[in-house]
Amino acid sequence: MTQPRLSRRGLLGGSVAAAGAAGAFAAGRATASEPDEAARAASYAFRGEHQAGIVTPAQDRLHFAAFDVTTDDRDELVALLRDWTEAADRMTQGGSAGEVGPVEGDPLLPPDDTGEAIGLPPSGLTITFGFGPSLFDDRFGLADRRPGVLRRLPHFPADALDPATSDGDLCVQACADDPQVAVHAVRNLARIAFGRASVRWSQLGFGRTSSTSTSQSTPRNLFGFKDGTENVKAEDGAALADHVWVGADDDPAAGWLAGGSYLVARRIAMRIETWDRQPLADQEAFVGRAKGSGAPLTGTDEHDAPDFNAATGTVTTIAPDAHVRVVHPDAHGGVRMLRRGYNFVDGSNALGGLDAGLFFLAFVRDPDTHFVPVQMAMARSDALMEYLQTTGSALFAVPPGVGEGEHVGQALFA
Amino acid sequence: MTQPRLSRRGLLGGSVAAAGAAGAFAAGRATASEPDEAARAASYAFRGEHQAGIVTPAQDRLHFAAFDVTTDDRDELVALLRDWTEAADRMTQGGSAGEVGPVEGDPLLPPDDTGEAIGLPPSGLTITFGFGPSLFDDRFGLADRRPGVLRRLPHFPADALDPATSDGDLCVQACADDPQVAVHAVRNLARIAFGRASVRWSQLGFGRTSSTSTSQSTPRNLFGFKDGTENVKAEDGAALADHVWVGADDDPAAGWLAGGSYLVARRIAMRIETWDRQPLADQEAFVGRAKGSGAPLTGTDEHDAPDFNAATGTVTTIAPDAHVRVVHPDAHGGVRMLRRGYNFVDGSNALGGLDAGLFFLAFVRDPDTHFVPVQMAMARSDALMEYLQTTGSALFAVPPGVGEGEHVGQALFA
């Protein structure tokens, strides 16, 4: 069902009682009458072959939340996913979370939108949903539909995970070019979930650390280096098919996931104060790239392929423990990821430093082949590890896109 | 001394050894050769009569940090303020934190800029410094220069302060239209302070909750309401003189503060999940304004003056405990504030909700007359208090602007 496109401006009167009539929306509250605002920012369709927020050109702000389902009733879970789908469909188009709006409803009822996004354009909002391994326990009858590779990530050396900021039954990734729009989305989805699911942990991020389109330049992480140079890009359909989208025959138990992906989320704290005291040459040796240009130490341009055999005498130019060597596809059978992480600063730590780092997000076709071996190699032998500590970790199956009249993950429950 | 205007792009070669020569900067690394980038964003002068970041049109992102001074040496404190001044002067103009740059220096030394802002325009960055009451203890010989009203704020009913996120010897307010630029500023000032001061607490914010210029519309807080409608604006010089800037004769002990201000910082957590379940009419009654337009319940336009005597029968239209009535200047001898707060979401709380709220920042001429009575009235009788809990609190004296060749707060140490 196509949702009417509501305005979230909420300034056109507070007594439109015919809230259920699509005609009333179209006449009284459509944004079509506000072309300037509509033009102010991009919007992305919520429905489609794949979920938005994966190959969508990475927006600059993130609010990510993991939820625990608090009901044991399968029907209530399905109803939640249906409600979330309708709300996400509206909000990504610049509309309200609910079908009435923040100020248009019965004043004796709580509004069905919280209002802080009134007047804000869509701001490129995407909302992407995922299912954690724990959703497939015995509560909802989904155990036999769990993909074989959807299980808690293994313990990696130097992980220091806080259970309170790891895992989750469900996840919501909200990306936008305005943090207030991303926060509004997660906050309203949490509100809608009341009594059925509650926020387990949430993470804000900024300054996308990867580009997902060839139209975007490569941004910098809080080590000051360009990050995600070799990312899978939206324009490379073959790479997406090989490395990001789950194939129809990948897992007999999980045909419902075909066209979806797996989302790895890792909260990686950086010891930035220690990093900042390292000589530039050491920083570049640890990464294997020049800090300014992002070029590999064997090249001059960011996108030059690193030459891992180049050496001065017996010393390779790119060190054995350089990050670019340890995680390079050449060392892992050619596997690539679509990374979509964000920088974060969460206040300060007990040592008088900033609690800062990288909230790593990567979409892969198979975590067992595309993430775990790469992360294991990095944890074991990457020079950067001295400056990193992973404090949160989660894996989610991201179902394919949502068709008209469907809710997210519908095939899983069919 | 005018600082050379450096680029922080850091892409013009890594071996400019004549780092101390201003001529080399002007020739090789000035942003003047990159007019497109320079035009991409506003920049504000760091030096001037008043510090920037007060009447400057409120930018959309905040990184605020409070520091503890870790040296007992007055000269080291002064040297820190001098170093901070020079770094702030550079960074607000789009330059690097240090005079060499993130990638231009000796590769065997740590860079004097951390690099994550390479390529980013000034983004309207302002950096505003303040001095907490504790700076005036017996460590630095400043006790007899402490303004009489610069002391810890009193305990207000319902305060639930965390000492770890309250107070501080020094503060830095970094505002910008790109969070990565604001974070880069605070991170580099913390790096520069190493061994002399360390971060006590820090707070990120977004979605400015006040406008400080008549050119700006009034934004919304996380209750969904417009916030700061009656704010003191940059264009109202008389109000600034009356309510924001400290006068030359305000305090005989603190002539050094003339032209400065006091900054009240309060981290106010909002019980947003409970708020979201209140009927719209109740929300509007608690605030005393319409949620959509922001108009007082007795008016139709946001900027209509509220009519506190209007009533239906014996019931006043604006309730006795409505926020707009309790804090209105008419109830407090006409005092006004220049508010400059931000929304925040700091992950989630133990109850399955979002740890969200308002990071309240207000600049006032005198906290004893312009803040404490208003806050006390609010804490005692404001209907909003049921949905608020203040978890952090601090007061700082904000010295006047910095002249050429001076460092911030120079008159305090003269």
Domain ranges of chain A: 21-29+40-413
Sign of torsion over alpha carbons B247, B251, B255, B260: negative
In sequence order, the β-bridge partners of residue B360 are B266
Residue of B nearest to A178 (CA): B207
Is A353 within 8 Å of B198 when comparing Cβ atoms? yes
Distance to chain A for B60, nearest Cα, Å: 9
- Considering only CB atoms, which chain A residues are within 8 Å of B284? 107
What are the per-10-residue average pLDDT scores of chain B (414 residues)? Answer: 41 32 28 32 93 95 97 98 98 96 96 96 96 98 97 94 96 96 97 97 89 90 93 94 97 96 98 96 98 97 96 94 96 96 92 92 98 97 97 98 97 96
- Considering only CB atoms, which chain A residues are within 8 Å of B28? none
Distance to chain A for B390, nearest Cα, Å: 17
Q: What is the pTM of this model?
A: 0.90
Least CB-CB distance to B14: which of A283, A292, A356? A292
Least CB-CB distance to B201: which of A117, A222, A348? A348
ipTM here: 0.89
Least CB-CB distance to B281: which of A70, A108, A194? A108
Is B222 within 8 Å of A114 when comparing Cβ atoms? yes
- Considering only CB atoms, which chain B residues are within 8 Å of A187? 222, 272, 345, 354, 356
Sign of torsion over alpha carbons B302, B306, B311, B317: positive
pLDDT at B312: 87
Least CB-CB distance to A105: which of B68, B273, B280? B280
- Considering only CB atoms, which chain A residues are within 8 Å of B224? 102, 111, 113-116, 118
Least CB-CB distance to B279: which of A110, A351, A352? A110
Residue of A nearest to B205 (CA): A179
Is A347 within 8 Å of B202 when comparing Cβ atoms? yes
> Which residues in chain A land under pLDDT 70?
1-41
- Considering only CB atoms, which chain A residues are within 8 Å of B165? 347
Residue of A nearest to B101 (CA): A292
pLDDT at B8: 56
CB count within 10 Å of CB B82 equals 15
- Considering only CB atoms, which chain A residues are within 8 Å of B225? 115
Classified as helix, coil or strand, B374 is helix
Distance to chain A for B220, nearest Cα, Å: 5
Least CB-CB distance to B347: which of A102, A187, A346? A346
- Considering only CB atoms, which chain B residues are within 8 Å of A191? 273, 276
